[in-house]
Amino acid sequence: MSIQGEAGAGTRERILGAALEIAGREGLEYLTTRKVSAEAGVNLGLLHYYFESKEALVEETLGRYFGEMRSVIEASQARGEDLRPEDMLTELFSSALEVATRRPAILFGLISRLVESVKESLRSGGGPAYPLTDAMATPFGPLASVQGLLVGRIKPLLTARLGGDEELASRRSIQLFASTFHPILFTPFPGMIFGYDLSTPESRRAYVRGVVEDALRLPPVAL
């Protein structure tokens, strides 16, 4: 059978699976072709047949990671079409948080890349938004896809609940994103400083539910 046939597809999937595991537990900066070939059980030459460079492997690993997150979010959205806004948003963000929790080191690596990209843009005379608006090239494209899916769903829900105030809905959207993923990015401080136990899916869902309720709460009416 050709290397491009069914056996070849299986080998490629095995390589990507190994790359996800390594990146998820160690970080993107530790994702080397040598490590991946060893974990996948393939020789280095075969790995390079499918992925010409480490960067190509990293980019496709990120694409697979955010593809996994997107699939989970889409499934949650389909299940929650008839739910109240509180339940729909809890479903969406709990699902995204569970994917992030399984492979936290990937988020750290991606944020590091975003920061370096912004710094490079500033050094070359551009603005801080430039790297994110320049066609959203890989590896930021998959992130933008997931973010677009969430924003396209949550912004209308928040705007409707908050009396049509789009500016307030935008601020609450940012707060919702930041609060949901804060426990991953700043582990173990939420538990050490604020006493949150987010070690189980149930506790993480309860946390997200509280964050969602905060985001949907109308501000007090001025007297």
Over range 127-154, report the average pLDDT: 61
CA distances from 1 to 7, 45, 47, 51, 175 (A): 7, 18, 18, 20, 53
Per-residue pLDDT reduced to its tens digit, 18-59: 999 999 889 888 889 999 999 999 999 999 999 988 888 988
What pLDDT is stored for residue 2 in this prediction? 46
Residues of the chain above pLDDT 70, percent: 84
pTM of structure: 0.77
What share of residues in the chain are helix, strand, coil (percent, to 5)?
75, 0, 25
What are the residue boundaries of the structural domains of the chain, listed by start?
1-52, 59-216
DSSP 88-118: HHHHHHHHHHHHHHHSHHHHHHHHHHHHHHH
What tens digit of pLDDT does each residue of 79-92 get?
766 778 888 889 88
pLDDT tens sequence across 175-220: 998 898 888 877 777 777 788 888 899 999 999 999 999 999 988 7
In CATH, the number for domain 1-52 is: 1.10.10.60
Distance, CA of 223 to CA of 213 (rounded, Å): 24
- For residues 127 and 85, which has the higher predicted lDDT (pLDDT)? 85
Average pLDDT, the chain: 82
Residue 138 pLDDT > 70: no
